[in-house]
Structure 1
Amino acid sequence: MTLVGPVMTSPLLYPLLAGLCSLDGVLPMIPSEAAVLASGVFAHSGTPSVVLVVLATALGVFVGDHLAYGLSRSVLGPRLINRSRHVSRAVAAAGRQLDRRTGLLIVMSRFLPGGRVTMNLACGTARLPLARFSPASAVAAVAWAAYTAGLGFVGGAAFVENPLLGLGVGLGLSFAFGGLIELVRRRISNRKPHPGHPAETLPARAG
């Protein structure tokens, strides 16, 4: 925390947050969430500004979303996606759901582990028009930025004497919330009838 302190009071923090969140759109191993949470923890003391933290983060997320979207529509996109069977399956599964509630899916994916990159790649692969992708991406970026910085801010308020503990609590709550959304999503998916289920085959046979 001694090393992080000077960064949090520097004007360079805001472009740093924007850059990290942009790169995180194509390189998920970058710890942008931890950086935003830490900024929120320190923002409780008045420096940095929590409003500027949210704006810089949202801008970075929005740009990162479009980097992944553009990459998936490029010549290199399919090659990179198909290099990993897990990624290709996840992108294909997300793409099949884009015809229904596109905006809601894009927003919800920001709160799922790995969901942001997968959904953005799926939108690009499916050739979703920017007129539909960009507004949903903007809403998702602002929502995630406010949520993540807010968790850090609350953690900083609750653990004034120990900012590191506030950061840890913020990370824990973020993971728990993402896991809860994923659990709800899986339960909803499991309730849907599968191909070959009697509920689907009966009308065809009756006809």
Structure 2
Amino acid sequence: MLEHLMSVLCSPWLYLIVAVAVAVDGVVPVVPSEALVISLGAMSATGSPHLLALGAAVVVGGVAGDRAAYLLGRKAGARATAGKVAVARAKAERALLRYGGAALLIGRFLPYGRTASTMTSGSVSLPVGRFHLFSMLASVCWAVYTIGLGRLAGATFAGSPLLGAAFGLLLGTILAGVCAIVEKRRGAAAVVPGHEPVAAHHSLSS
């Protein structure tokens, strides 16, 4: 089984699959691209897949998915009025109004934050140049984070790539859970009875 897995990891088609998975995850946040990238990052400790090629595939997929979500947000982003995505979208809009393009970088590491922030960028007409800049930065940072997390786990269990991948997924799940708890507490602390939300400090066009 391990030999078959290694043959797949050595295939150049793997990088295309990664890029597509990351791109689709940016539009439909149900594709487990983070789990895929962390696992492959752990496997890269064995030499396959190639670390730089994997990173490039993740960045390309990230930018492509962000662009698609931005365009979709311009047409239909305001229609998301229910569910977790709608809640994330409301938070993303407040963050965009306050922080501008930097909210894209923050949103990349929050549950549903990527899709919410990119679609909201389109719906509130964040300037395209600023969007592309922060989309690229967010994609690079996310690639370093996910691949690095997997690589750390793979190095910890160098003799067992599959165990390393599992350990990387566990670390990723724990960190995601911590981020979600912190974000939830921050959101609760920001709501003060009898007061209006804090006004935006920066315009989107700045």
- The equivalent residue for 2:169 is 171
Tell which deviates more after alignment, 174-183 or 154-163: 174-183
Q: What is the alpha-carbon distance in structure 2 between the residues aligned to residue 85 and residue 101 of structure 1?
A: 24
Q: What is the alpha-carbon distance in structure 2 between the residues aligned to residue 44 and residue 87 of structure 1?
A: 35
- The equivalent residue for 2:8 is 7
- Asked whether the 8 Å contact 1:87–1:118 carries over to 2, the reply is yes
Q: CA deviation at 1:137?
A: 0.9
Paired residues for 1:131-170 under 5 Å: 131-170=129-168
Instruction: Give the alignment partner of residue 115 of structure 2, picking from 114, 117, 122.
Output: 117
Q: What is the alpha-carbon distance in structure 2 between the residues aligned to residue 177 and residue 117 of structure 1?
A: 19
RMSD of the TM alignment (CA)? 2.2
Tell which deviates more after alignment, 62-71 or 89-98: 89-98
- The equivalent residue for 1:48 is 49
The structure-2 alpha-carbon separation of the partners of 1:139 and 1:119, relative to structure 1 and needing over 3 Å to count, comes to same
Tell which deviates more after alignment, 149-158 or 29-38: 29-38
- The equivalent residue for 1:39 is 40
Q: CA deviation at 1:69?
A: 1.0
Residue type matched to 1:23 in 2? V
Q: CA deviation at 1:144?
A: 0.5
Q: What is the alpha-carbon distance in structure 2 between the residues aligned to residue 111 and residue 168 of structure 1?
A: 20
- The equivalent residue for 1:203 is none
- The equivalent residue for 1:204 is none
Identity value in percent: 38
- The equivalent residue for 2:104 is 106
Residue type matched to 1:155 in 2? A
Q: CA deviation at 1:6?
A: 1.8
Residue type matched to 2:150 in 1? G
- The equivalent residue for 1:187 is 185
Q: CA deviation at 1:44?
A: 0.9
TM value normalised by structure 1: 0.84
| Deviation digits for residues 130-164 of structure 1 (CA, Å, limit 9, x no counterpart) | 12211111111001111111111111111122222
5+ residue gaps in structure 2?
199-206
Paired residues for 1:43-122 under 5 Å: 43-74=44-75, 76-79=76-79, 81-82=80-81, 84-122=82-120
TM value normalised by structure 2: 0.85
Larger radius of gyration: 1
The 3-state SS of whatever aligns with 2:57 is helix
- Asked whether the 8 Å contact 2:104–2:138 carries over to 1, the reply is yes
